[in-house]
Amino acid sequence: MSFRVIAIGILGLLCFHSGANTICLSRGFVPPVKPMDEKTAPEAMRLWEQAIEAKGGRERLHAVRNLVITSHGVYFSGTMKKNKIRKEILYALPDKLWGWIDLRPGVFGLSVTMYNLTTQMKYAITDTDPNHYLEPLTANDKRDISISMSLLSYLPETKWWKPELVTSSSGRLGLKPVDIVQTQIDGKRVDFALDRKSHLPVRITTYTVDKNGASIDTMDLLDYVDIDGIKMPATFKYDDGTVYKQTYQLNVNYNENIFLKPPSIESGPEVWKLATNVRVACYTAPPSFSFTCSF
């Protein structure tokens, strides 16, 4: 499993790659990104403001400093065998990303990957290469990594970024009518399909053109829950049948060392947590005089 594959697995959160194939990818024509349509701009802005308010409001969204996403899901291998997925992802906004992706006992195994855009460093360790070293970001890393893009399903706006609105239209998901807001972020077209009653995003479609061709990535957002006043989708579904169940934590205290050096595989998926009650032996004497200290 190459480093690029690991990176896409974290940033996409819901997509897994095997060679040249992508589980949640459908190939086809990708319309070019257009400048804002002045005729539909007011309606696009109105729909976007409704969506931001439905998510919890701009003040709450802009107050998010970090986000932890815990995912459990299944995907099907090339032989149609059902495999389990366990992910623990920490975004430290605006420029750090850490992820634990466990596909064992599948062939992809376990990977722990970090990108620190402040220090321009990264690491990728696996259960078969647990001692891989810290190394600089490559030109491809800097081109491909987009924390803002990977967070659109959860935080469509933050204090650091906001999609550029392009136009709006009407559409359907099956028999259900939706409002669609076309946006652009990091040079890519991203369409938000909004539920007409809740105004929450129910589908996000990303259009990409690169050296490998054109692709359209689609994810459905279901079962919204309230996390500290912000509505988050508890279920993600793809047209290939891949389904994720996710839980969230906002503005946590985290172990900053994971962005400075690789942890040990034995530390487990919650190594990002900041230890709050570490017990250390302070003194050892005869049994009646032995004690420990807590910090």
pLDDT digits (tens, 9 = 90+) for 257-291: 999 999 999 999 999 998 753 333 333 333 443 33
Give the Cα separation of 122 and 180 in Å (integer): 37
pLDDT at residue 45 tops 70: yes
- What CATH number does residue 58 fall under? 2.50.20.10
Give the Cα separation of 133 and 123 in Å (integer): 6
Mean pLDDT score across all residues of the chain = 81
Please report the pLDDT score of residue 16 as a whole number.
33
Q: Count the Cβ atoms, other than its own, within 10 Å of residue 66.
A: 16
Residue with tokens 């998510």: 55
Q: Which domain holds residue 103?
A: 3-294
Classify 177 in phi/psi space as left (phi over 0), alpha (psi -120 to 50) or beta: beta
Lookup: tokens for 170: 């009407």
Share of the chain above pLDDT 70, in %: 77
SS3 279: strand
pLDDT at residue 195 tops 90: yes
Give the model confidence (pLDDT) of 267-276 as tens digits. 999 999 987 5
pTM of the model: 0.78
Which has the closest alpha carbon to 112: 271, 273, 250, 274? 271
Please report the pLDDT score of residue 77 as a whole number.
63
Close Cβ partners of 26 (under 8 Å, ≥ 6 residues apart): 215, 216, 217, 218, 239
Give the model confidence (pLDDT) of 62-87 as tens digits. 999 999 999 987 766 666 677 778 89
Averaging pLDDT over each range in 32-41, 173-182, 206-215, 237-246, which range is the top one?
173-182
Share of the chain above pLDDT 90, in %: 59
Per the structure, the count of domains in the chain is 1
Lowest mean pLDDT among 57-66, 82-91, 167-176: 82-91
Answer yes or no: are the C-beta atoms of 190 and 184 closer than 8 Å. yes
Residue with tokens 């204090």: 159
Averaging pLDDT over each range in 4-13, 32-41, 155-164, which range is the top one?
155-164
Residue with tokens 């049994």: 287
Residue with tokens 């077209």: 189
SS3 96: strand
Cα 166-169-171 angle, rounded to 5 deg = 135
Residue type, 291: F
